[in-house]
Structure 1
């Protein structure tokens, strides 16, 4: 959940000073964009993968600090809860074999981490929601030690005036529960896809990323179960949106698909960050505005499903990135890379096409498509341009996959990589088997023992074959 801070309590004076720093940095960033001072070359790709530590009984284990010390790799860091980890990858240039290089690097890191976990008699699980996690696991006692997490918890409940978070998800079944901390967020783990945006492309790529969210969501769903209830194909979406809700602030909820397409540039989003969202972590910095400390800290506490990022090239030139957050973790590394390839190809085609698709789409349609895809997965029926109420799996096969192929070809991605990764997406759409579908079918055939489900899931995950090919046999 972002950078560490120095304290967990703040004063009104802190908030006023932070707001002034934030105003100056936002104005400076918007000026940089207008003056063409934002880097866009070369286009690069990256990721963050969140996962779980579990024991041999398939229960989450709160030992991430011990695990990280044993692994001793700076690319693996703690997450909000003591049973979650985050794997990071060094960026790769998005051309040639860039995606397969990301794949190779993550596979090695995951293999080393699995070996370390085995030495601790533990296992690693990449899955959107751990089927065996319970409400009792998601408590403040299992929160990681970082001050940032405790401060966010305090500030969320300050805005809520001490009122509990009411989780209410209506899916195939209905789940309601009440919580007095933000640890529900720890129940949702994702594969976050990063894309450095080409110079001058902020508006088109941001809007294109919104449009790509629905097909990407439908074909990657991997989170049907929460607390033993069968909810959405991707229950992680309503879970995270409600987990850090600030209450009756509909226009300023911290996890959101957003309210519109942008028109003027990336700076529009950071201007909205300053104007619409109460500051959660008003920790002030004495570094110059060019470092963007306050702007980045504020942005790190707003978890848009498509989040803008400000970064720097090695020579210190600022750049913009998209962080596509809709994809759940897992089921396998090759599935994750297939999701990334689908996203990179689709968003490039949308953003670079002569007629931008977002110019032909009302924003509320893109938003509705996303939530339909999260609720129903590949069974969703969506609207695309003049096509009304068509099955999204058909649209993926007939429209979105050809677009993604064209986008990857435009990026000069190696033909073998295009065929491998988009071939996996195609097979998921043809067979109808995503991670969510496999989990539901397994429960239908073998019963609702979540530990048995997870054990079999991890068996096939460790084999590394894409999820569309998984059988429904329980592991030995």
Structure 2
């Protein structure tokens, strides 16, 4: 949710007016899908990265305002917590060396930002959950100084009507409660964007859902939260629980959660926006002055502001995006599965695996989702979040196998074909997919590396061990050597 929003209160009349307006948006969007010309001629890909800030000893640095002023680069923006920032990397075309462009651009921007952050006593770290976060770091006072975050916090808590309970059981157990959505700020992610036509959108979204478990198994990077070793990708249960607007009674009734994997394959992008409106009350019922039908019938492109803002408060792991660029509407799948890091090379390798695999599957004559129950995709996602690279995943024609076998024997060849279809150079393709293969061969991703280092420090006080391991992680991060090669 990147829109600027002023602090305000909402009345019942505001919500009624918003419901009427967003349904009008939905009607116009459906008409546009059949009539409007979407930008599909030369699809772009994109990358966003959320980062953590730490101080010299490895503790969270609550200084994002000062750091952003020092960086002075508009591609860097605030995130929910004072210990977060986000970078929006300029989009690229994969056939024009886009993967290498992403890596070079991201490295240069992050190196420059790190130099400037140091002047404020802070350092940038790419990791899914900052392992040195403690209970005292997750109070309302650590929300970024931006009215939209405070407003969202109020609306989530008001909708829920009680404190938020966090309960995660892995090798260790965490049970805690919070009176704010600040634990969501602990969940930093990488977001991949792939532009697609209305006709192809369902195939790209379904493919993204089908491969979510494999993505997560290969790239898990969030094994510790509040001093406990939990899931290999603890961001998944934490994010699901930290923004849950449902009381226990509503959960029992089967009300859908706002952080949602989904429950079915789709036939159109319209299915997802329609579900958003049908299932989820507005958290931010702000009404824009635009009449979308009037704009469309006069030859313009409606912003669909209410539909877009509402979509930004339904946290699908693969989210549909409607936007306008250079006067043309376009659609994107936003893949939000993965944590940040460990290195820029690892991050771009994850991008290559996603972009290649999703294209190969989306263009397959016999789609994988026609042969895979949706429940299998959801179960793969949960298994990979829990167990990371040691997960076992189900796949049509293969059965239940280890994630590493599935990726190396079946999915990497498909990803290679997909990158060829994008026009990616063979050397570029092989370098990045080779990183994914290397991780699987070594059975080592960010989560495994971090957990093994922590186990080797079993005799130390827990947070001292977390600080020492995080500083070692940060040092290796700056080498840009893939995590499976770290000593």
Spell out the pairing of 1:2-17 with structure 2 (5 A cutoff).
2-17=2-17
Deviation larger for 446-455 or 170-179: 446-455
Pairing 1:101–2:101 present: yes
CA–CA distance in structure 1, aligned partners of residues 70 and 291 of structure 2 = 37
8 Å Cα contact 1:36-1:200 kept in structure 2: no
Pairing 1:252–2:251 present: no
Deviation larger for 244-253 or 44-53: 244-253
Spell out the pairing of 1:268-279 with structure 2 (5 A cutoff).
268-279=271-282
Q: Secondary structure at the match of 1:13?
A: helix
CA–CA distance in structure 1, aligned partners of residues 7 and 20 of structure 2 = 20
Question: Which position in structure 1 is the counterpart of 2:310?
Answer: 298
1:118 Cα deviation after fit: 1.6
8 Å Cα contact 2:67-2:122 kept in structure 1: no
Pairing 1:375–2:386 present: yes
Spell out the pairing of 1:352-367 with structure 2 (5 A cutoff).
352-367=363-378
CA–CA distance in structure 1, aligned partners of residues 328 and 123 of structure 2 = 41
Question: Which position in structure 1 is the counterpart of 2:335?
Answer: 324
CA–CA distance in structure 2, aligned partners of residues 156 and 446 of structure 1 = 39
CA–CA distance in structure 2, aligned partners of residues 422 and 251 of structure 1 = 40
Unaligned runs of 5+ in 2: 293-301
CA–CA distance in structure 1, aligned partners of residues 32 and 47 of structure 2 = 26
CA–CA distance in structure 2, aligned partners of residues 230 and 427 of structure 1 = 25
1:259 Cα deviation after fit: 1.1
| 1:106-163 deviation digits (Å, cap 9, x = unpaired) | 11110110110122232111100111001210110011121111111111111112x1
| 1:180-233 deviation digits (Å, cap 9, x = unpaired) | 110010111011111111452011111011012111110000000001111111
Question: Which position in structure 2 is the counterpart of 1:237?
Answer: 236
Q: Secondary structure at the match of 2:284?
A: coil
8 Å Cα contact 2:220-2:446 kept in structure 1: yes
Question: Which position in structure 2 is the counterpart of 1:284?
Answer: 287
Give the TM-score of the pair, scaled to structure 2.
0.94
Deviation larger for 39-48 or 303-312: 39-48
Q: Secondary structure at the match of 2:135?
A: coil
Question: Which position in structure 1 is the counterpart of 2:322?
Answer: 310
CA–CA distance in structure 2, aligned partners of residues 301 and 415 of structure 1 = 39
8 Å Cα contact 2:198-2:269 kept in structure 1: no
CA–CA distance in structure 1, aligned partners of residues 332 and 235 of structure 2 = 23
Question: Which position in structure 2 is the counterpart of 1:345?
Answer: 356
Unaligned runs of 5+ in 1: 472-476
Pairing 1:458–2:462 present: no
8 Å Cα contact 2:321-2:331 kept in structure 1: yes
Pairing 1:425–2:436 present: yes
How many corresponding residue pairs? 468
8 Å Cα contact 1:382-1:390 kept in structure 2: yes
| 1:270-292 deviation digits (Å, cap 9, x = unpaired) | 01111100100011111232111
CA–CA distance in structure 1, aligned partners of residues 36 and 432 of structure 2 = 34
Taking only aligned residues, the RMSD between alpha carbons, in angstroms, comes to 1.2
Q: Secondary structure at the match of 2:165?
A: strand
Question: Which position in structure 1 is the counterpart of 2:298?
Answer: none
Question: Which position in structure 2 is the counterpart of 1:56?
Answer: 56
Distance change in 2, residues 1:36/1:293 (3 Å): closer
8 Å Cα contact 1:222-1:331 kept in structure 2: yes
8 Å Cα contact 2:63-2:122 kept in structure 1: no
Question: Which position in structure 1 is the counterpart of 2:119?
Answer: 119
8 Å Cα contact 1:39-1:319 kept in structure 2: yes
1:410 Cα deviation after fit: 0.8
- Counterpart of 1:267 (choices 258, 267, 270) is 270
Spell out the pairing of 1:95-244 with structure 2 (5 A cutoff).
95-161=95-161, 163-244=162-243
CA–CA distance in structure 2, aligned partners of residues 112 and 270 of structure 1 = 39
8 Å Cα contact 2:222-2:339 kept in structure 1: yes
| 1:93-113 deviation digits (Å, cap 9, x = unpaired) | 132301111111111110110
Q: Secondary structure at the match of 1:175?
A: strand
Distance change in 2, residues 1:352/1:25 (3 Å): same
Q: Secondary structure at the match of 1:201?
A: helix
1:417 Cα deviation after fit: 1.3
Q: Secondary structure at the match of 1:91?
A: strand
Give the TM-score of the pair, scaled to structure 1.
0.96
CA–CA distance in structure 1, aligned partners of residues 290 and 31 of structure 2 = 19
Q: Secondary structure at the match of 1:16?
A: helix
Question: Which position in structure 1 is the counterpart of 2:26?
Answer: 26
CA–CA distance in structure 2, aligned partners of residues 470 and 199 of structure 1 = 43
8 Å Cα contact 2:66-2:120 kept in structure 1: no
1:313 Cα deviation after fit: 3.1
Question: Which position in structure 1 is the counterpart of 2:411?
Answer: 400
